[in-house]
Structure 1
Amino acid sequence: MYDFDPTRPKWQQIADVVRRRIASGEYPPRHLVSEVQLESEFGVARTTVRKATAALRDEGLISTTPGMGSFVSDRGGTCESS
């Protein structure tokens, strides 16, 4: 279970963790960002995870394809394109 800072919304803290994982390369381009996995890892409701992924999507760090999931954008981890 993640130790949340009680002074900040949980979804912002989850977005921060995912953002750091993308920046460090732990989540490389095209890596699946699983809402189910994040929900389990952080012990939060799906709506909380969806707020975090929506923020990351707005920043262009991930993209979501209906029926497939959310993936790290190519530009999220690198400037190269394939």
Structure 2
Amino acid sequence: MIEFDPTQPKWQQIADLLRARIASGEYPHQHLISEVQLERELGVNRKTVRKAMDALRSDGLITTTPGMGSFVTGPGS
């Protein structure tokens, strides 16, 4: 788990973390990002992870296919 800044929404901090992982190449192009894994790793509610994923989707960094999952599509790819 990470230590969250109480002055910012958790979903925003998670989105920033994921953006950094994409930018660094830790999550390369077509990498599957698991909501369940993030929920466990970060110790947060699934809704919080989904809100962060929505932000990445809006930024064009990931794409989500029903039944398949969310994959990296943007910068750092």
Query: TM-score range, shorter-chain basis?
Result: over 0.9
1:77 aligned partner, one-letter code: G
CA deviation after TM superposition for structure 1 residue 7, in Å: 0.2
Q: Distance in 1 between matches of 2:65 and 2:37?
A: 17
Q: Percent identity?
A: 71
Which structure: larger Rg? 1
SS at match of 2:75: helix
List 4+ stretches of structure 1 deviating above 4 A. none
Q: Distance in 1 between matches of 2:4 and 2:76?
A: 26
1:45 aligned partner, one-letter code: N
Q: Distance in 1 between matches of 2:42 and 2:9?
A: 13
Q: For this pair of structures, how many residues does the alignment match?
A: 77
TM-score (norm 2): 0.96
Q: Distance in 1 between matches of 2:75 and 2:37?
A: 20
Aligned CA-pair RMSD = 0.8
1:60 aligned partner, one-letter code: G
Alignment gaps of 5+ in structure 2? none
Aligned to 1:68: 68
Alignment gaps of 5+ in structure 1? none
TM-score (norm 1): 0.91
